[in-house]
Structure 1
Amino acid sequence: MSNHNSVPPQSTSSATPPNNGSQSKPGLVPTNNVTTSDGLTVRARIDPTLAVADVVRQLCVNLKIKGTPSDYALRDVNHELVTNDNLRKKIKAKLDLRLVNAPHKEGREIAEKLQSRDLRTMRLTLYTLQRYIRENEFALEFINHNGVAELVDIIFTTQGNTLAVALTAMQNLMELDYGWASLDEAFILRVVQVLSSPQSLINVCRPATAILKKLVEADPSDAPGPQAGSSKSGPAIVPGSVYRYGFTMVFEQMRKERSLLETIVNRLGSADTAMAHYSMMLINSLLSHASDARWEEFIAEMERFNMRKAVVRLMSQHTMEDLTSSILDFQANMLRVIYRKKSTPVNMETHPAHEADLTFIWNHSKLETEVDEHGEQLKWRKLGFDSEDIETEFNDVGVLGLECLKRFAERDPDFSKVVLEQLSRPVERRCPIAKASNEVVELLSEHWAIFAPGYSTSTTFQPFFLDFYKVHALATNFFLRMWSESGAASGDFARVVALVRSQVKVALQSENVRAWHEVEHDFLECEYRAVRDRQIKELEQEDDLLSKVPVRNLRAKIFKESYEFVRQQRIQCLMQGAWFVIALPSNAPQPRDSRRPSRPWRFVRLDNSLKYLHFVDSAVKFPVRGGLEDLPERIEIGAISEIATGGCIPPPGVLRDHNDLPPTTPLGPSPLSFSLISINEEQGSLADLIAPDQSRWADWTDGLNMLRKDGGHVASDETAGFVQALTEIGLKIKLLDLSGEMVEIPSGLTAGPPPPNTDFFYSPLI
């Protein structure tokens, strides 16, 4: 119903007179339809230069709304709150507005309405709650009036769609860094039970998964600001802080529902892409936050449910582009897992599982312990180790080497025959199987750059890396075959290692596009002579020095330093800031006209706390001062779930007006575009931008990935290339220092026997 009553001319809002067929005069302030809670609709001319509070007060006066004007607010048709920052934009767009309860009043009323257990009333209230709970003013009133306790009670007592809406409301509340510190172990267990149930609906599981992820990441060590009261036992929990949960608390509840991890893994194959995405993000959070006390147990559970195989299946489903960033995050997390296993020493005294694995290997060999000619036990040397000190034999490859040898013995039904066949040969002609297995672990670690935790330069999928144990078995069998076909003797171990290194490079190249059967063919069918000929050609181009163990260790150290250097450089670029074109998602509805947008440029800068991206939109590029004064808007880094690339198109008329921007087809996505995807599914993308050049694109996509808690992977070949180039240059400089002095670098160092007594001292260095 329209109200055509006249109002004083000085009013902030005014009703337009009836349309008698006359044309509206040019230069008039745009008009907006404003609807009250009673259904009354008026056409109002709103002065965009005034504050929203003044606009609301004038509307209340003109429309004779009862009550205090501060109890009312304006929202658009999409329920977005009208603020001083967006008022001008909404007036110019002539959006329909609604005069509604102010957020503080709405928050108080919603908290009271949740006490009603009438199903219809409850659902309507929850729908309103999930929309408004992210607003600070609303949230504070809702929290202060016991709203969180009522919401938790609903989550405990409802099912189906009502539970889905309640969980979504809780998920949205947890985007705030306050208000949910009262959640306890019982609530966590309830969420775990909801997720574990195969009967739970998809729309229930999505928010439940997001809630569990948020709880895992709400660790005291991740709380913003200095952790006063921190001790060796960990950071102290600040009273009232939501950073009081973390992996340990969540995992304790997960252990009560043993089927949870299996269910999460199974949901990676869900036809619902969002569900698979949420599950992938939860897995990454668990991996990156796993505590030392529960790490081994958690990783063993993941392995038991074939987590890596499920992710490999995801890689082959090209319809799931949204999962690319999460899969690369998973690869980076698995690199940390592999590195940790490799750097964890084998210790039978403190880890009964290590002793059990060694017993398993020995039993599968079907050998008997003997005594050699010196009266010493002859056991592990029969398997190909250099000594009987089995823990020392795994020094370089740690638990990873032990697990690889165990899997090799377990998967090969002829393992005992292979061992006996080597023992039947003369001593100098035997291939040391166990030693070969450990060397293959080193070669694969070198190939996949498993040098240090948290450093991954892979920009593509690595399905073979995720099948590390399977590739190890193939390469170890290849080692044994090359030993036999080349007629190798005990002094030829390094020569056979060189052959295997060459074959590893060939078989595992371009793994993101190769089929597994091609890898198997390369390891099982390739003849010795072909491998040898190729390796000789490689030796002509390479220095044998680079394959020596000390040099490989030096390369690992320099790689870590290079990665950290590039990471800091990328973050510095973000802190300096840059101009971008505001892009349009390629799947978004295209504007009806092709006019250039009024503010197509955005300057973005990362603040010194590394917590927020501050930005400003502008019609033209202008000199931005240092600091954040010119940048009124901001995006929280923690609210970004992934950095999606290459999925946006330029707005009309912007790129062709500027020669400094990359060429692109009018309808095709720009290769220099990237989107900041929100952790909240409803929000979608937080920003869609196009970089001015390839270098700026690499700086920002990789810099943002490196900032995220569950990230760490590199997205661009440019950044990966920088890390590799710096590593090679640094290595060559270090080697020049040695080779220039004609210093001989040994392939390995053998420790001598320990002193017979303590009657010695260290001579001072001269």
Structure 2
Amino acid sequence: MDQADIPSLLSRLNSDEDAMRKMAVFKLQSSINDPAFADLFISSGGLTILRRLIMSTGGNTLAYSLQSLTRLLEVDMGWEIFESSGSGELVERVVELIVTHPLVNILRGAMSILVAIVSHSQSDSGASMRTPGAFGFRALKPAVAVFPQFFEMVVSQLNSADHALCANALMLLNALMRDAISSEKDGPKTGGTVEEWPKFIKRLQDLGVIKAVYVLMQSSALQDLAHPLLEFQALTKVLLKKWRDVNVDLERPEHRRALKGIHLASAPEKKDKESTVNGTRTEELAEGGSGNARKGSRKHNPEKWRRLGFETESPAWEFDPTGFLGMMDLTDYVRKEEDNFQKMLLEQSTRPLHERCPIATASLACTAILYEHFEVEKSDVEDAKSYLVLDGMKNYDKIFRPLLLQWSRLHTASLHAFFRLWKSTGAEREDFDKVAELVRILIDQVVGLAPRTKDMLEIEEELSEFEYSRLREMQMELLELSFEDEWGQHLHQVRDELKHEALQFVKEQRIRCLLSGAWFPRTTLKPTIENPRPWRYIKLSHNRRYLHYADFDTQTTQNPTLDALLDKIDLSTISSVISNVSATDESSSISSTSTLKTTSHSHAPPQSTTKITINTTVEGGERAILTLMPATHSLASEWLDGLLMLLNQTPITAETNRLVGLVGEYGLKIRLLNVRMGEGEGYAEGRGVVPSREGLDEDYFYEV
């Protein structure tokens, strides 16, 4: 619309005919977002006419009027309409429309205007305004007092099938939350107080905001609601951080009540009564103890807080790392899980002090783990929006974290997982950090890898059923990856060293099998006149230079001594050891002993197809000087590789190589577990510097 047409437009907007007004305001909404047009419209008295239309019309005329004002505010113009006389009635009219009007197009426009009013106090231009109470939530308070169902109606629109209306409702709630949080900084000058924002947030939570947004975040409507949902997610982090930053101060009544509630939920009376009945530690009567106690005889329980899992009897400072957020989580847990809390305390009280799971400390650890997992400190919504624009819908699962809105249930499920891992690992107090690390890995695995649409009930089930063995495997993988990144070449060097050490360890084990001796069947046939002695016993000499052997009619109960083994082979004369044992045979299992387990005094040797041949060099080639026929794969592996390693050759059986790998991996894991995750990231100042010997003499000793 041409600027020259503005007088004609204003005339039609002032018309008594609804049809003419409707057409004029319809054209206005499409032109008013042009700053030049808007400036002339305002200077010509258009705001007064627009205000009159909003106050007195209905239907589409009202909807177009609301839309026109919205677009005017979007170009940061027309704010004086809320600073002039009668602005309170205008705000009240818009609030009334939200509470009472059923038409979607009117509701959308009304909410957009309120979003602008509330948000303007948070902008630079809004902060410079001189009219107190014209913007922010304060501007809505008088109208909300007239229509107290306002918040309930706004929250209900989060369930609307109209995505634009739903988005506007969420934007309004976001603006109100952000204004409530920011008003704390302004203090009494603007009517904000430290206590107001928690009460306001709780009021919205009680109306079901979190549940409604959680459903939206898991829905298919993300494309239309992406920005307000991301802002709500960011605001959730802001709130969590604010609660974390509030120090627990027992001078504040609400903090004192919360801590007292934790104590009362532990059923201290039951413990007092039990102590009195059993006649043990009667000095541990808690405050408000057994009703049977005489007045004036109640004493302070010396373990009042430590029995709940705190480290000391002055627990306020223990909340420092998690602030009031940690107290909220613990209070919420004991309130919702009071029976489990009391059962857990009773169960732990039967254990020695060092074996008890510190419930309160575990709760605070779970709060810290979740805080770190969701990266609460990183709450800049603009970065998330940019990420969304660049990457589109395919990354919705990465950007949106609906489980963040299930903080309380996640905390409870994490705490139950902590208790389960503590019990299954037989942990003690000194193992607390190790259990906490397992819970951290569990949260990263179950919560971190959960798709956006995964149901919370499934998350809780996985956290309660995740196997400890899998967690340990993941822990080792993470440790290896961490040290691979930090140490690189050094880790490869450690692996090589450990492989060599493992090979030497297994070599000694195999040779000890030879030193212990073993029975071998000489043939698979039954004894005959030509073969009267079907059993052969072989043993390595103590000096590891000779193989002694002899043939016997039966396996004796007591193994023969070296003196009874009249034949022997000098190891230095052995040229080769060959066998039909497969190097890739996976059917064998590692044996704990090399002794052939058969019935004593057996006359019939077991069937065997495995053969180990020991050769010596003769003129023209080699000849066999001893043949072994081990009856089991384990025995074959022990003796074949034992002989090869005794001759400084490489073992070849799958069983021995598997054992070498197993020992090497355990060695690596032990070394990794003995090094903290942070090590390798740099040295503290002064580390690695050789101290000066100035002023020292040679009078020193080693402490062993």
Superposition map of 1:332-411 within 5 A: 332-350=234-252, 352-368=253-269, 377-411=302-336
Is structure 2 residue 160 aligned with structure 1 residue 270?
yes
Q: Distance in 1 between matches of 2:14 and 2:261?
A: 60
Query: Which digits, 9 at most, give the CA deviation of each residue in 1:162-218, with x for residues without a partner?
Result: 321221121122123233313223322322222233x43111111111111111221
Query: Which digits, 9 at most, give the CA deviation of each residue in 1:282-326, with x for residues without a partner?
Result: 233333343223422332123222322212211232244222233
Q: Distance in 2 between matches of 1:114 and 1:275?
A: 27
Superposition map of 1:702-741 within 5 A: 735-738=681-684, 741=687
Residues 220 and 299 (structure 1 numbering): CA distance in 2 closer, same or farther, change over 3 Å? Answer: closer
Is structure 2 residue 401 aligned with structure 1 residue 462?
yes
Match of 1:428 in 2: 354
SS at match of 1:738: coil
Q: Distance in 1 between matches of 2:342 and 2:102?
A: 48
Asked if the contact 1:155/1:163 (under 8 Å) is kept, the reply is: yes
- Aligned residue pairs, count: 444
Superposition map of 1:493-508 within 5 A: 493-508=432-447
Give the Å deviation of 1:254: 4.1
Q: Distance in 2 between matches of 1:348 and 1:211?
A: 43
Superposition map of 1:115-154 within 5 A: 115-154=14-53
Match of 1:192 in 2: 95
Asked if the contact 1:222/1:243 (under 8 Å) is kept, the reply is: no
Q: Which amino acid aligns with 1:283?
A: L
Residues 271 and 220 (structure 1 numbering): CA distance in 2 closer, same or farther, change over 3 Å? Answer: closer
Residues 363 and 273 (structure 1 numbering): CA distance in 2 closer, same or farther, change over 3 Å? Answer: same
Q: Which amino acid aligns with 1:322?
A: D
Give the Å deviation of 1:375: 6.6
SS at match of 2:96: helix
Query: Which digits, 9 at most, give the CA deviation of each residue in 1:25-74, with x for residues without a partner?
Result: xxxxxxxxxxxxxxxxxxxxxxxxxxxxxxxxxxxxxxxxxxxxxxxxxx
Q: Which amino acid aligns with 2:326?
A: G
Q: Distance in 2 between matches of 1:485 and 1:502?
A: 16
Match of 2:513 in 1: none
Give the Å deviation of 1:735: 4.1
SS at match of 2:80: coil
Asked if the contact 2:9/2:24 (under 8 Å) is kept, the reply is: yes
Q: Distance in 2 between matches of 1:360 and 1:267?
A: 36
Superposition map of 1:620-659 within 5 A: none
Which of 128, 131, 136 does residue 246 from structure 1 map onto?
A: 136
Q: Which runs of 5+ in 1 are unaligned?
A: 1-80, 82-101, 225-234, 547-730, 744-766
Q: Distance in 1 between matches of 2:143 and 2:265?
A: 37
Query: Which digits, 9 at most, give the CA deviation of each residue in 1:398-441, with x for residues without a partner?
Result: 12111111221222252322233223333222211111000001
Asked if the contact 1:273/1:320 (under 8 Å) is kept, the reply is: no
Residues 537 and 453 (structure 1 numbering): CA distance in 2 closer, same or farther, change over 3 Å? Answer: closer
Residues 421 and 134 (structure 1 numbering): CA distance in 2 closer, same or farther, change over 3 Å? Answer: same
Q: Which amino acid aligns with 2:59?
A: G
Q: Which amino acid aligns with 1:124?
A: M
Superposition map of 1:511-590 within 5 A: 511-513=450-452, 514-542=454-482
More helix by share: 2
Match of 2:62 in 1: 163
Q: Distance in 2 between matches of 1:236 and 1:325?
A: 27
Residues 255 and 530 (structure 1 numbering): CA distance in 2 closer, same or farther, change over 3 Å? Answer: farther
Q: Which amino acid aligns with 2:434?
A: R
Residues 324 and 141 (structure 1 numbering): CA distance in 2 closer, same or farther, change over 3 Å? Answer: closer
SS at match of 1:340: helix
Give the Å deviation of 1:537: 4.1
Normalised to the residue count of structure 2, the TM-score between the two structures is 0.57
Give the Å deviation of 1:476: 0.3
CA RMSD across the alignment:
3.4
Match of 2:490 in 1: none
Normalised to the residue count of structure 1, the TM-score between the two structures is 0.53
Q: Distance in 1 between matches of 2:301 and 2:457?
A: 45
SS at match of 1:425: coil
Which of 273, 288, 291 does residue 178 from structure 2 map onto?
A: 288
Give the Å deviation of 1:392: 1.6
Asked if the contact 2:237/2:377 (under 8 Å) is kept, the reply is: no
Asked if the contact 1:108/1:141 (under 8 Å) is kept, the reply is: no
Asked if the contact 1:220/1:245 (under 8 Å) is kept, the reply is: no
Residues 124 and 498 (structure 1 numbering): CA distance in 2 closer, same or farther, change over 3 Å? Answer: same
Asked if the contact 2:133/2:139 (under 8 Å) is kept, the reply is: no
Is structure 2 residue 6 aligned with structure 1 residue 107?
yes
Asked if the contact 1:381/1:387 (under 8 Å) is kept, the reply is: yes
Asked if the contact 1:269/1:310 (under 8 Å) is kept, the reply is: yes
Give the Å deviation of 1:251: 5.4
Q: Distance in 1 between matches of 2:306 and 2:142?
A: 43
Which of 231, 243, 250 does residue 329 from structure 1 map onto?
A: 231
Match of 1:419 in 2: 345
Give the Å deviation of 1:473: 0.6
Query: Which digits, 9 at most, give the CA deviation of each residue in 1:144-164, with x for residues without a partner?
Result: 343322322332233333321
Asked if the contact 1:114/1:150 (under 8 Å) is kept, the reply is: yes
Q: Distance in 1 between matches of 2:64 and 2:331?
A: 48
Give the Å deviation of 1:142: 3.3
Q: Distance in 2 between matches of 1:522 and 1:742?
A: 45
Match of 2:419 in 1: 480
SS at match of 1:268: helix
Q: Which amino acid aligns with 1:466?
A: L
Query: Which digits, 9 at most, give the CA deviation of each residue in 1:124-152, with x for residues without a partner?
Result: 33223223322345434432343322322
SS at match of 2:449: coil
Match of 2:104 in 1: 202
SS at match of 2:74: coil
Identity level (%): 29
- The structure whose Rg is larger is 2
Match of 1:237 in 2: 129
Q: Which amino acid aligns with 1:506?
A: Q
Give the Å deviation of 1:533: 4.1
Residues 243 and 146 (structure 1 numbering): CA distance in 2 closer, same or farther, change over 3 Å? Answer: farther
Is structure 2 residue 120 aligned with structure 1 residue 215?
no
Q: Which amino acid aligns with 2:461?
A: H
Q: Which amino acid aligns with 1:478?
A: A
Q: Which amino acid aligns with 1:177?
A: D
Match of 1:34 in 2: none
Query: Which digits, 9 at most, give the CA deviation of each residue in 1:618-638, with x for residues without a partner?
Result: xxxxxxxxxxxxxxxxxxxxx
